[in-house]
Amino acid sequence: MPRFDATQRLSTSFAPAMLLLTQELANTQGPVTYQIDLLDELGTAQGWLDGVLEDWQTEHPQVTVPRIRLRKVDLEQLRTVRASVHRLLSRGQERLFTQDTPDLDAPVNVKAGPNGVEGSPVGTGIPWIASATALELILAQQQDQLRRLKLCHNPGCDVVFHDGSKNNSRAWHDVATCGNRANMRAFRERQRTAGA
């Protein structure tokens, strides 16, 4: 069972294993109030990456996952890949495929064989991470799971969660915190306008 270290600390729902790396990468930066970015420091980033790659290897035993030793310069590239995922998810499902420029421009290896067409990440280092993330997004979209990977609607909260609800209607990563705040703001606004 994957650990989901970045996502678990944010008390939200986990995406299926096919989106393990994507959700984990997106959640390395939690909400503004949390103020802990797992990609700020080399040691923390390396610890997170080692764990997520080990989990990814468990979920994808047919793919050779490279050992990636981060350098300080890699952190900015990793944050850029994370920002690409956030940009993609921030558009919402109705506008997901309306942009001509890519959010995440990364190659993947496609091979036809006895088991059909299979994809695998290519590259080394951060380009491999970008490729694996792109592959996850493609496969999730094909299996109708991408629309269920969402950014919390609470302003200032960038937590990425998986909406497993029957009608795919969740808006907050955690109803008790973000949902409660939003509902209270709406209630107070209704009270204010009713009293005016």
What are the sequence ranges of the domains in the chain?
5-195
Q: What is the CA radius of gyration of the chain?
A: 18
As given in the structure block, the two tokens for residue 191 are: 């009270």
pLDDT digits (tens, 9 = 90+) for 44-86: 999 999 999 999 999 999 888 999 999 999 999 999 999 999 9
- Cα 112 to Cα 45: distance, rounded to the nearest angstrom: 35
Provide the percentage of residues in the chain whose pLDDT is more than 90. Answer: 47
Q: Which CATH superfamily is domain 5-195 in?
A: Jann2411-like domain (1.10.3300.10)
pTM of the model: 0.84
DSSP per-residue letters across 42-107: HHHHHHHHHHHHHHHHHH-TTS-PPP----HHHHHHHHHHHHHHHHHHHT-GGGTT--SS-SS---
Name which of 189, 160, 191 is nearest 173 in CA terms: 160
